[in-house]
Structure 1
Amino acid sequence: MDTTVFAVVMAAALLHAGWNALLKIGLDRYLTASLIQIGAGLVAALVLPFVSLPVAGAWPWIALSALLHIGYNLFLSRAYQHGDLGQVYPLSRGSSPLIVAVLALLAGDALNLGQWPGLLVLVAGIWLMAWRGGHAHAPLNQRLLGNALATAACIAGYTLADALGARTNQDPVSYALWLFTVNGVVAALVITVRRGPGIFLRLGPHWRGGLAGGAMSMLAYSLVIWAMTQAPIALVSALRESSVVFALLIGYLFLHEPLPRPRLLACGVIVAGVALMKLA
């Protein structure tokens, strides 16, 4: 993989782990996820005057991605109710690269034989982290697993949609900014329907965190969208999930989650996968 694309995706991985950690800090995780998405939409909307409208062929992909992001927010917030950051994040993020690889293959964007070993090693490390890395009092359970895998399916779906949409648009920056603006509007509408208009009165003290998390989310995924126009979709999708290592460190340093030996071993496996992918 090109060094510039590699560095961009790694930066996106760090940013993504950072805003996901905010979901564990919020008292209401669905509300926190929605707030971050609305915040990202507000930040993106400020930049819209400086970019062009997406081409007509890109809008169906934006619409599909917006729908899949609704499912992503819902299932991810539910998963965090049944497990810690070190479990939910690896399961939900780490399961999606294999789904993306299959979907990308069907879309004509296949990996070559030299790229598969790195992807498989990285995914194996992520699953090892989730399987052996949780609290002793919070083992993997059906609700956690089901919601995490549903989150992974949504991630895979919107990842492929956004890659194809950005390539169709031939301007990943314009595509990303309009995508986040649309997602912010959709998130605001959905939360109004689910919680009522009065819910926004409760968000007053939290807007600063929502805007910060939204800006991190927007920048992280915008970098990924750009990278997917420069490199195979599945390769970028897998590499960005090295963010689980950053999530592990955030969980340990700031959320006081455990750092047992299996998690450290999993980190080593993930780093090996990243190295293989960089060399492919």
Structure 2
Amino acid sequence: MTPLVTTAVLLAAVTHASWNAIAHRITDRLVGFTLILTGGVLIGLAAAPFAPLPAAGAWPYLLASAVIHLVYVILLMTSFRLGDFGQAYPIARGSAPLVVTALAAVFAHEVPDGWAAAGIAVSCAGLTGVALWGLRGRRPDWPAIGAALATGFSIAAYTVVDGLGVRAAHSPVGYTAWLMVIQGVAIPAYAVHRWRGETATVLRPFAALGLFGAFLSVSAYGLVLWAQTRAALAPIAALRESSVKSCSCGNNAAVQGAG
């Protein structure tokens, strides 16, 4: 990994943790993700005309990733509902790099060397430590932990699918734009159906915060997708989670204080 790739992934880590914190601060999870995903669709539609269309070989990955991302959002919403941010988030993010390492070895034929494997292990151990620290003095909430682990598996799945897809696309910006469009339709459509004529009223109080979260989300994942065209998947996945430890600890009290 070059210094440029490392910097891009670290920046993506910070922005990704930030949009997850924003999503958690919007008390109605469906409202938060509806705004973030709708914003992602709008950004994708705005960017798509200015980027090369992904190559034909990338579209199966795009469609598969959209389905996996939908599962991820549902699981993330569930884990936030069942457990507090400081516990659920590091478990979800910390379990993913280990699974990415295994999947990348099978599907991308990328086996990390000793130093890379050690770095992945240290990253996952650190995030696990954050989660365990949050459990001190309390009984484990097994449903929340199970949802967070399932979220981690979904993260690993879309990480590998998108890593292979963006390489096949020969256009990181085009792949990112169309992924935002394809993956961002289902949950907002469900929300509109559920709220019907009250959609604007429900979304308006959180619109600015949610759309800012969308900008952070697209920026973060676009940086990761670009990095995946220039380095192995597993080290990127581990490095991406490096800022979650401080972000989760720093946000835990604030989130609990906000209810």
TM-score normalised to the size of structure 2? 0.92
For 1:191 and 1:19, the matched residues in 2 are separated by 20
Following TM superposition, by how much is the alpha carbon of 1:192 offset from its aligned partner in structure 2, in angstroms?
A: 4.0
Listed as ranges, the gaps of 5+ residues in structure 1 are: 258-280
CA 33–243 in structure 1, closer or farther in 2 if over 3 Å, else same: farther
Structure 2 CA distance for partners of 1:197 and 1:161, relative to 1, 3 Å: farther
Q: Which runs of 4+ in 1 moved over 3 A?
A: 134-137, 190-193, 196-199, 252-257
Give the Å deviation of 1:245.
2.5
Q: Number of aligned pairs? A: 255
Q: Write the distance in 2 (CA, Å) between the matches of 1:207 and 1:77.
A: 18
Q: Could you say which residue in structure 1 is the equivalent of 2:131?
A: 130
Distance 1:250 1:44, change over 3 A: farther
Say which SS state the counterpart of residue 54 (structure 1) adopts: coil
Per the alignment, residue 196 of structure 2 pairs with 197
* Alignment of structure 1 residues 23-38 onto 2, 5 Å: 23-38=23-38
- State which drifts further: 28-37 or 48-57: 28-37
| Partner deviation per Cα, 1:92-138 (whole Å, 9 max, x = no partner) | 0110100110000001122122210111011011111101224755x
What's 2:159 paired with?
A: 159
**Quick one: which amino acid aligns to residue 231 of structure 2?**
A
SS at match of 1:115: helix
Contact 1:38 1:183 in 2 (8 A): no
Amino acid at match of 2:199: F
Task: Answer whether contact 1:21 1:251 (CA < 8 A) is retained.
Answer: yes
Q: Which amino acid is the alignment partner of residue 25 of structure 2?
A: I
Which residue matches 2:147? 147
Are 1:30 and 1:73, in contact at CA under 8 Å, matched by a contact in 2?
Answer: no
Q: Does 1:119 align with 2:120?
A: yes
Mapping 1:183-262, distance limit 5 Å = 183-192=183-192, 195-198=194-197, 200-201=199-200, 202-248=202-248, 250-251=250-251, 254-255=254-255
SS of the equivalent of 2:185 reads helix
In the alignment, the residues of structure 2 paired with residue 165 and residue 65 of structure 1 have an alpha-carbon distance, to the nearest angstrom, of 9
Give the drift of 1:199. Answer: 5.7
Alignment identity in percent?
A: 37
Other-structure match for 2:111: 110
Structure 2 CA distance, aligned partners of 1:190 and 1:237? 30
Cα distance 1:105–1:199, how it changes in 2: closer, same or farther (>3 A)? farther
Alpha-carbon distance, 1:153 to partner: 1.1
Shifted more, 76-85 versus 119-128: the winner is 76-85
CA RMSD of aligned residues (A): 1.9
Whether contact under 8 Å (2:86, 2:249) holds in the other structure is no
Distance 1:95 1:161, change over 3 A: same
1:77: which partner in 2?
77
**Judging changes above 3 Å, is the alpha-carbon distance between structure 1 residues 246 and 39 closer, same or farther for their aligned structure 2 residues?**
farther
The unaligned stretches of length 5 or more in structure 2 are none
User: Which residue is equivalent to 1:267?
Assistant: none
Q: Residue 235 of structure 1: CA displacement?
A: 0.6
1:21 equivalent in structure 2: 21
Deviation at 1:164, TM superposition (A): 0.4
Q: Which residue type is aligned with residue 58 of structure 1?
A: A
Structure 1 residues 208 and 116, CA, compared in 2 at 3 Å: closer, same or farther?
A: same
* CA distance in 1 between partners of 2:85 and 2:245 (Å): 11
Residue equivalent to 2:92: 92
Q: TM-score, normalised by structure 1?
A: 0.85
Q: Distance in 2 between matches of 1:186 and 1:53?
A: 22
**Residue range with higher mean Cα deviation, 203-212 or 86-95:** 203-212
1:46-88 deviation per Cα after TM superposition (whole angstroms, max 9, x unaligned):
1222112211111111111111111111111111122222111
